[in-house]
Structure 1
């Protein structure tokens, strides 16, 4: 897939089909972009699970933080990645080890690694990189607030 441009239907379908989202790199700091994205997703009705080993067991926006994706005790539809692009390949490996696997890996602004995306797509996952659901959602969906 060409990750320079996404068809509106591709992103819209993802945002409509996912229900449970793991936010990898979640932070309790309200000035961090991941905090705002979590808040937005929760307000839109998604079930959000924050993932950050440095905050495991604590609460972010009323959600209990887990240390690793493998610590989540329920199926996840999408992993929203707030990590350095150099870490995306390791994230893909972690996602591919999950059972069941999430359907989507979403890399936030600046998070892009085409080789990692190719590996995920070869395993049947959908990938979005260098985009933010906060910007894409209002542009593409009509999900009730």
Structure 2
């Protein structure tokens, strides 16, 4: 079902270029802030998404109020929301003109019904993992081209 092998994670993180971090926090001590900044520093184009902070900056990045407001196609949606909000985030992702290739939920976040729906729609799914931790554990290099 969901992609969790090291090879699958390596393939996903090596192929995506744009990542929306849904639930990004303006608080620099929060994991969502740290992960957004880390991914941007590693060369991904990162779009923090937080309805209360749209138009402001989080981790030095322009923040959007919804996935639909992000100005370019998103390869991966990284969800930093409680489990009960995952289905709504997936609905928003699937409604995009160009749906993401990957739907990823952070550590402690699982919604198997939403995962099954995402996979049925053709998305790769990763649940209950952190891309920052995976990149560090797998020794994945920064993307060419620097931060976007």
* TM-score, length-scaled by structure 2: 0.92
CA deviation string 1:55-93 (max 9, x = no partner): 111011221111000111101100010001111111111
Per-residue deviation, 1:139: 2.0
Q: What do you get for the CA RMSD once the two structures are aligned?
A: 1.3
How many Å separate the matches in 2 of 1:113 and 1:139? Answer: 25
Residues 99-114 of structure 1 aligned to structure 2 (within 5 Å): 99-114=97-112
1:70·1:98 contact (CA, 8 Å) conserved in 2? yes
Q: Which runs of 5+ in 1 are unaligned?
A: none
Q: Structure 1 runs of 4+ off > 3 angstroms?
A: none
**Cα gap change, 1:7/1:68 in structure 2, threshold over 3 Å: closer, same or farther?**
same
Aligned residues between the structures: 143
1:16·1:143 contact (CA, 8 Å) conserved in 2? no
How many Å separate the matches in 2 of 1:120 and 1:141? Answer: 28
1:120·1:127 contact (CA, 8 Å) conserved in 2? yes
Which of the residues 50, 56, 59 maps onto 2:57?
Answer: 59
Aligned residue for 2:47, secondary structure, equals strand
CA deviation string 1:8-30 (max 9, x = no partner): 11111000000100000111101
Residues 1-145 of structure 1 aligned to structure 2 (within 5 Å): 1=1, 3=2, 6-144=4-142
1:82·1:108 contact (CA, 8 Å) conserved in 2? yes
How many Å separate the matches in 1 of 2:91 and 2:44? Answer: 24
2:28·2:59 contact (CA, 8 Å) conserved in 1? no
* TM-score, length-scaled by structure 1: 0.94
How many Å separate the matches in 2 of 1:114 and 1:34? Answer: 22
